[in-house]
Amino acid sequence: MREADIGEIHASRVAAGFPIYGIDITEDNLAQEVGRTELAISFTKGCYLGQEPIARIDAMGHVNRQLCRIELSSGPLPDSGTPVLDKPAPDGKQVGTITSSTWKWQGDADKPLALAYLRSGFAKPGSQVLVDGHVANVL
């Protein structure tokens, strides 16, 4: 067994949908947007900093965007900040933003994988979006 290099660790975390603070998560993100509600949020704990917005989102039932894994059909790796569209330009509307990307390292190794924040209506497995003109499936 050998140690994994940083590129392999990055590829594994993107493939697993595991976000990193400072790359995929910032102070601008709500905890529920990252998909870690069950792991990171207590609804029974006493008062804590940030409890009010957390409870409000829980009462609403959803956030407006979610961090998702997407698999592109082809194309180069999208850069962080690349817009995700609902249909081809010029009519396409931005429905998300790429945060991280890597090459798929299992199965179809020529396909890019990415993490992206997508509007909730597009954050369902099987939904299709466009990244740099290439079709991407939400996983």
Domain boundaries, the chain: 6-138
Distances (CA, A) of 112 to 9, 74, 79, 89, 135: 16, 7, 11, 21, 11
Q: How confident is the model at residue 83 (pLDDT cuts 50, 70, 90)?
A: very high
User: Which residue, 98, 100, 108, is CA-closest to 73?
Assistant: 108
pLDDT of 58:
86
| C-alpha–C-alpha distance, residues 113 and 69, integer Å | 7
Burial 37-75 (b: 16+ CB within 10 A, else e): eeeebeeeeeeeeeeeebeebeeeeebebbbbbbbbeee
The end-to-end CA distance of the chain, in Å, is: 30
pLDDT of 73:
92
Q: How confident is the model at residue 13 (pLDDT cuts 50, 70, 90)?
A: very high
* CB neighbours of residue 127 within 10 Å: 17
So what's the architecture of 6-138 in CATH?
A: 2-Layer Sandwich (3.30)
- Number of helices (H), then strands (E), in the chain: 3, 6
| C-alpha–C-alpha distance, residues 76 and 66, integer Å | 23
**Least trusted range by pLDDT, from 1-15, 25-39, 63-77, 104-118:** 104-118
Question: Whole-prediction pTM value?
Answer: 0.88
Beta bridge partners of 102: 113
For CA atoms 25, 118, 70, 88, give the dihedral sign. Answer: negative
Q: 72 or 7: which carries more pLDDT confidence?
A: 72
Q: How confident is the model at residue 89 (pLDDT cuts 50, 70, 90)?
A: confident
